[in-house]
Amino acid sequence: MTQVKRVDVLIIGAGPAGLALANWFRNSPITVLLIDKKPGPTQRGAAEGLKSITNEIFDSYGIGPQIAAESWRVEEIAFWGQKKKDGKSGGGIEREQVIQDKVEELGKFRETTLQQARVEYHMQRNLLNHENINIQYNTRPIEVKINESMSLLHGIDDVYPVEVRLVKKTQVQSEAVASNSLESSTTPPTVNGNTPEEVKVEEERVLAKYIIGCDGAHSWLRKQLDVQFEGDLTDSVFGVVDLVPKSNFPDLRRSCYLGASTGTILMMPRANKEVRLYVPVESGTSFSDPKDLTLERIIAAARDIFSPYTLEIGSVSWWSAYRVGQRVGSHFSRHNERAFLVGDAVHTHSPKAGQGMNTSIQDAYNLGWKLRLVLQKKSPFNNPEAARRLLATYESERRPVAQDLISFDRGYLKLFVGQPSSQFDTEFLRGMKFTTGLSIRYPAPSCVVQLPRDIKTSADLGPSLVKADLVPGKRLPDFQAVYQADAVTCWIHRRMQATGQFRVLVFAGDIATHQNLSDNIQELGRYLGDESNGMGRLTAGRARALVEVLMIHSADRAKVELLDLPEVFRPWSDEEGYNYWRVMADAESAHEGHGRVYERLEIDPKKGRTLVVRPDGYIGAVLAVDDFDGLGAYFKGLGML
């Protein structure tokens, strides 16, 4: 007998992308089913590097500290090249340069390494006490149908245009998990293959409002949606090994790029005294088929590159060999924004830039809040057109990122697998801004990214905004301020938890010195709290408000009294009294220094500035602090007013 389930969101694949997406629906009534054909969570190996902005996402999910505690920090990157003798290259390698792994704008969160299994563990654990989110292993989809006319009715309850048939193994045989190949481990199982007698197969029917494929490079959903995967497998094969090295190589605890005459290696330090080696193998050699690449051969190649330094093995915890694919999907969503593809399911590339797991999680982070807004009770997006327009920005924002990544990766790969190059480190430095994700700028104007008045294209933004990175469509630069009420420090991205709320950040300026600023704040308070203009409905409701209003002033903290500010900045609750954590000062912390927010963001303390920040931490609008209409226009444009 076939069971029928109804869920708001069906996610295929409980890897990093699927789990990151599911985390957006915590503390909401939105029902989510996450299925995976695996018998359980990933146990080891696979992706590893965590970019700073990914760590920031974990923090917005409340699991930053746990992940940080287990992660290994990368502080330095060393470049090693062929040893020069009298200007010519001789035998062996030598250290050419050591650089700091640092980008100022990233703020609190840093680049770290932690294996995918642990990343998944924490994201999965974070879902445990949320009854609206369920994970079902041993389950795979076999058929999907999407009702085209129903699919247009976004925002209307009880409309489930997506119908999926699933098969679920209820008793699992001991699977010979193909752990020595990333490529083969994501190969979809044969639906009609033989199932041994001891495995019972059950069929389920699921009706969903939205379906999302987070099912990896061999995505089943991508094939069902007729999305073309454009690009090719390259000729390059990579060997990857996690090992405890016994070696006299002096930079084992730095990230290293080694370019010897015998080949190249990318090495990253990990926890537990391990390092990870990426060893690319050129085409045309006997290793051009990943199946021929054994652990012994990878180690032998690594040993040649390390020479004259020794490389003995203490222990190997995981290894793999695979061919690099560089491809991007023709579409990121189909069927009137009812079906989406996320992560490896729509783009693949080499592991060197450390972008795989990171980009997958960031894709999911971009999509999740949009789905949440559309699906939540009393959604402001009950207009189907507004809802669809919002959801369509997933493709318009994330597909260019994937394309840029593929082009970047293609150049990077050529450099890496070719002869050692003196340009490599320069390229690397240039690339760091890219790989951190800081150069991402979502297209403007769109319904979620508004350009300043009288500006038609992003190119017309003034130099000050660009210099300070206060650009609509870019991620808000992280900064530290201190709370007015208790002087505790606050990093803005940590403050903005993933609740689905927009934030209005009011940089009120020096309100203690300038009466006009102080007057303006009173007026702004009235505007934001006004039910008749609609803003009052968005900002009211306290913790559940669609828009949270925060202030960062630059006045002498001792001269500001929180309770003298308008109520929207310290709302009252009949259960808990005032909210003390909406007003911050750009001030010195006794323990953690001065954030210098106004200076870094080039905001004039005599003028101030207002930002609309999207639920994912990207800037939606940059406004003059007295531009109330501009503020209203952002939410009107979205369809929320």
Cβ at position 273, least distance to a copy of itself in Å: 5
Q: Is residue 169 a contact residue for a copy of itself (CB under 8 A)?
A: no
Residues 205 and 186: their CA atoms lie apart, in Å, by 24
Q: Which is nearer to a copy of itself, 358 or 489 (CB)?
A: 489
Residues 343 and 357: their CA atoms lie apart, in Å, by 8
Ranges assigned E (strand) in 494-535: 502-509
Token match 């840029």: residue? 404
Q: Which of 5, 89, 101, 495 lies at the binding interface for a copy of itself (CB under 8 A)?
A: 101
Residues 282 and 292: their CA atoms lie apart, in Å, by 13
Question: What secondary structure letter does DSSP report for 475?
Answer: B
Q: Which is nearer to a copy of itself, 95 or 410 (CB)?
A: 95
Q: Is residue 96 a contact residue for a copy of itself (CB under 8 A)?
A: no
Q: Is residue 596 a contact residue for a copy of itself (CB under 8 A)?
A: no
DSSP letter string, 124-163: HHTTTT-TTEEEE-SEEEEEEEE-TTGGG-TT-TT---EE
Q: Is residue 316 a contact residue for a copy of itself (CB under 8 A)?
A: no
Q: Is residue 590 a contact residue for a copy of itself (CB under 8 A)?
A: yes
Q: Is residue 110 a contact residue for a copy of itself (CB under 8 A)?
A: yes
Q: Is residue 85 a contact residue for a copy of itself (CB under 8 A)?
A: no
Residues 119 and 274: their CA atoms lie apart, in Å, by 17
x/- contact string, 462-491, with a copy of itself (CB under 8 A)? --------------------xx-xxxx---
CB 403 within 8 A of CB 412: no
Q: Is residue 246 a contact residue for a copy of itself (CB under 8 A)?
A: yes
Number of other CB atoms surrounding residue 315 within 10 Å:
12
Q: Which of 6, 44, 73, 433 lies at the binding interface for a copy of itself (CB under 8 A)?
A: 73
Residues 203 and 300: their CA atoms lie apart, in Å, by 48
Q: Is residue 254 a contact residue for a copy of itself (CB under 8 A)?
A: yes
x/- contact string, 131-150, with a copy of itself (CB under 8 A)? --------------------
Q: Is residue 377 a contact residue for a copy of itself (CB under 8 A)?
A: no
Q: Which is nearer to a copy of itself, 112 or 379 (CB)?
A: 112
Number of other CB atoms surrounding residue 249 within 10 Å:
17
CB 512 within 8 A of CB 559: yes
Q: Which is nearer to a copy of itself, 32 or 275 (CB)?
A: 275
Q: Is residue 540 a contact residue for a copy of itself (CB under 8 A)?
A: no
> 628 CB contacts (<8 Å, ≥6 apart)?
523, 524, 527
Applying the rule CB under 8 A, the residues between 39 and 68 that interact with a copy of itself are 65
Q: Is residue 408 a contact residue for a copy of itself (CB under 8 A)?
A: no
DSSP letter string, 386-401: HHHHHHHHHHHHHHHH
Q: Which of 5, 27, 43, 76 lies at the binding interface for a copy of itself (CB under 8 A)?
A: 76
Cβ at position 251, least distance to a copy of itself in Å: 8
CA angle 420, 423, 429 (to 5 degrees): 115
Q: Which of 245, 354, 420, 525 lies at the binding interface for a copy of itself (CB under 8 A)?
A: 245
The pair of three-digit structure tokens given for residue 444, joined into one six-digit string: 């403007």
Cβ at position 478, least distance to a copy of itself in Å: 13
> Within the chain, how many helices (H) and strands (E) appear?
16, 30
Return residues touching a copy of itself (CB under 8 A): 65, 69, 73, 75-76, 98, 100-102, 110, 244-248, 250, 252-254, 269, 273, 312, 314-315, 482-483, 485-488, 558, 561-563, 574-578, 580, 589-591, 593
